[in-house]
Amino acid sequence: MPGGTPRITHATLENGMEIVVIPDRRAPVVTHMVWYRNGSADDPAGKSGIAHFLEHLMFKGTSKHPQGAFSEVVAELGGQENAFTSTDYTAYFQRASKEHLRVLMEFEADRMTGLVLSDEIVNPERDVVLEERRMRTDTDPGAQLNEAVQATLYSHHPYGTPIIGWNHEIESLDRFDALAYYDRFYTPENAILIVAGDVEQDDVEMLARETYGLVPSRGAKPVRRRQQEPEPRAHRLVTLSDPKVEQPSAQRVYMVPSYTTAKPGVAAALEVLAHLLGGGSTSILYKALVLDRKIAVAAGAYYMGTALDETRFFVWGIPTPDTTLDDLDAAVEEVIHGMATTLVDADDLVRAQTRLVADAVYAQDNQASLARWYGAALATGLTVEDVERWPDDIEAVTAESVRDAAAAWLLKRRAVTGFLITGEEQEA
C-alpha cells in the first residue's frame, strides 16, 4: 500500500460509480481499470469459483460486440488487456495510448450490462477453468498444501475456499449461476473506475459520464454477506507428503487484522513487523536461521494487509538437509517469541520504515501498480485518503507497537502450521 502520489482525485457519477484519476505525465498512455466489489469470498454457498469463472466469461461478448471484438480492438490499438479475481474484488484493465480512452470506456461499459451467455459458450470455458485448476493446484504439492492450510485457518469464513473454487463445485457451474452472479454484482454502484496516465481529471470524468454514466443504477450496493471466523483457540498442523516434493518446507499462517478491520496503527505495525521479521536477507529470521544457526537455506515473512475481513500473516522457511521441520518450526517460534518480548533495535526500525516507504515510492514508476493500489484499497473498504496517509502511518510505528503487535497477534493458537515433505520422509 503506497502513498505520496501526485494529485489523486476522487469523484462519483450519479449512478454511483466511483472514479479515481491518477495523473502520470511521463508518457502519453493510460491504464484503465474497472474494479467490482466482489471476489471469491462472495461466491454463494456451493458455487465456489463463480467469481473467477465469470471473469473468464466476461470476454465472451455482448449483444453489441461479438466474442473477441474487444480484445481485437485493444490489440489493433497496440494495447494490452487482462483481468484478475481475488478474494475481495474482480478487476478488468487495459493499457493503451491516451487518445483511445473513450473506446476502452465504451467497450467496458457495454459489458457491464450486455453480456450474452449460452451453453455453447459457458460449458467449454468451464472445462478451461477445470484444466487451469489441474495445472496450477492438483499437480503441485506446494499449491495443495497452501490450499489445505488456508482451508484449515478459515474453517468458517469463505477465505478458506480457493479463489478458483473446488473441483466438484466448478463442475456444477452453469450459465444461470454466472448470470445470477453478474446481475447481482456487475452494477455501476458496485464498481470503481481507476484511470492512471497522461489525463486530466475533467476529461476523464466527462468521458465517464458519457459512457459509464449511461448505465442505469440498480439502487443500493449489493450486500456482501459473509460468515465470520470464530476466535482461534487451538494451533493446527497440516502435513502434506508427495514423492514430487524435492525440497521440504514449513510455513505458519496467522489470522490477524487487515487494514480494514484493525484498530488505528495496528495494521501499520504488522506491516513493519513483517518486514523486520522476514523482509529479505537482512531480516531477523534470515539472520537467525540462515546466517547464524545455519538450519535454513531461506526464511521470510509477509503481511497480506489489504483485505475486507480478518487477514493473514505468513512466516516460512526451507530447512537445510540435516534439519527437521520440527526443529525449524521450533526455531521460528523462538524468533517470534523474541519479537514479542523485546524491543527491536531503533536503527533497524528506522531502516525498515525507510525501506517500506521507499519501495512504495519506487514502485510508483509502474502506472499499473498505482492503479492497483488504489483499486484494491477502495474495493476493500478503504479510502483514497487512507492510501495517501500510508507513509505517515508507517513512520509513526514505534518499537513498542511492533512488540505489542507480535505479542497480540503472532500467537501459536492463532496459526496453522504447514509442513511439506517428501513421500520417502513420511514412510520413514
Predicted confidence band of residue 6 (pLDDT cuts 50, 70, 90): low
**Do 253 and 340 share a structural domain?**
yes
For 56-111, the pLDDT digits (tens) are 999 999 999 999 999 999 999 999 999 999 999 999 999 999 999 999 999 999 99
Domain end point (choices 214, 246, 267): 214
The partner residues of 422 in beta bridges, in order of sequence, read 242
Is the dihedral angle over the CA atoms 114, 119, 122, 125 positive or is it negative?
negative
Residue 362 lies in a domain: yes
Q: How far from 133 is each of 119, 170, 409, 420, CA to CA, in Å?
A: 21, 10, 33, 20
Residue 226 lies in a domain: no
Q: What's the structural domain count of the chain? A: 2
**Do 210 and 241 share a structural domain?**
no
**Do 248 and 199 share a structural domain?**
no
Dihedral, 383, 32, 57, 211 alpha carbons, nearest 10: 90
Q: Among candidates 337, 41, 284, 19, which has minimal Cα distance to 165?
A: 41
State the CATH number of the domain containing residue 37: 3.30.830.10
Q: Give me the catalytic one of 14, 18, 55, 76.
A: 55
**Do 251 and 128 share a structural domain?**
no
- Are residues 162 and 147 in contact, defined by beta-carbon separation less than 8 angstroms? yes
Q: Among candidates 339, 338, 251, which has minimal Cα distance to 300?
A: 251
Residues contacting residue 145 through CB under 8 Å, at least 6 positions apart: 238, 240, 251, 418, 419, 420
**Do 192 and 284 share a structural domain?**
no
Instruction: Please say if the pLDDT value at position 290 is more than 70.
Output: yes
**Do 105 and 61 share a structural domain?**
yes
- Are residues 13 and 112 in contact, defined by beta-carbon separation less than 8 angstroms? no
Q: Is 169 annotated as catalytic?
A: no
> Cell numbers of 410, please?
503472532
Predicted confidence band of residue 365 (pLDDT cuts 50, 70, 90): confident
Instruction: Please say if the pLDDT value at position 180 is more than 70.
Output: yes
Residue 221 lies in a domain: no
Q: How far apart are CA 122 and CA 107, in angstroms?
A: 21
Q: How far apart are CA 204 and CA 309, in angstroms?
A: 32
Instruction: Please say if the pLDDT value at position 427 is more than 70.
Output: no
Residue 229 lies in a domain: no
The DSSP 8-state label assigned to residue 135 in this structure reads: I
pTM over 0.75: yes
**Do 159 and 249 share a structural domain?**
no
**Do 269 and 148 share a structural domain?**
no
> Cell numbers of 54, please?
465469470
What's the domain range around 155?
Answer: 9-214
For 109-127, the pLDDT digits (tens) are 999 999 999 999 999 999 9
**Do 263 and 395 share a structural domain?**
yes
Q: How far apart are CA 121 and CA 133, in angstroms?
A: 19
**Do 256 and 121 share a structural domain?**
no
Residue 3 lies in a domain: no
Q: Quick one: average pLDDT of 382-403?
A: 95
**Do 155 and 288 share a structural domain?**
no
Domain end point (choices 148, 181, 214): 214
